[in-house]
Chain A
Amino acid sequence: MKDFNRIASLFRKFRTHTILEDEVHELRDWLKGKENRELFKRAMRGERETHVMRELKKYDREAAFRRFTERVHPKRRRIRYYVRLAAAVALPIVLSVSVYWWMETPARETEPVAEIISLTPGQKKAILTFDDGTKMALGDAIEEKIVLNEGAYLKIDSSGLRYDFKETGEAIKMNELFVPRRGEYNLTLSDGTRVFLNSDSKLMYPVAFGDGQREVILEGEAYFDVAKDEKRPFVVKTSDLSVRVLGTAFNVKNYPDDLCVEATLVRGSVKILEEDQEMLLEPGEQARLDRSSGKMNKIQVNTALYTSWKDGLFIFERERLEDILTTLARWYDVNIFYQRSTVKDELFTGDLKKYDGIEEHLKMLEMTTNVQFEIRGNMIVVK
Chain B
Amino acid sequence: MKALVCVKRVIDYNVKPRVKADGTGVDLANVKMSMNPFDEIAVEEAIRLKEKGVVTEIVAVSVGPQKAQETLRTALAMGADRAILVLCETEVEPLAVAKIVKAIADEEQPGLIITGKQAIDDDANQVGQMVAALLGRPQGTFANEIAIEGDSVVVKREIDGGLETVKLTLPAIVTADLRLNEPRYASLPNIMKAKSKPLANKTPEDYGVDMAPRLKTIRVTEPPVRSAGIKVADVDALVAKLKEMGVA
Are these two chains actual partners, yes or no? no
Chain B contact residues, CB within 8 Å of chain A: none
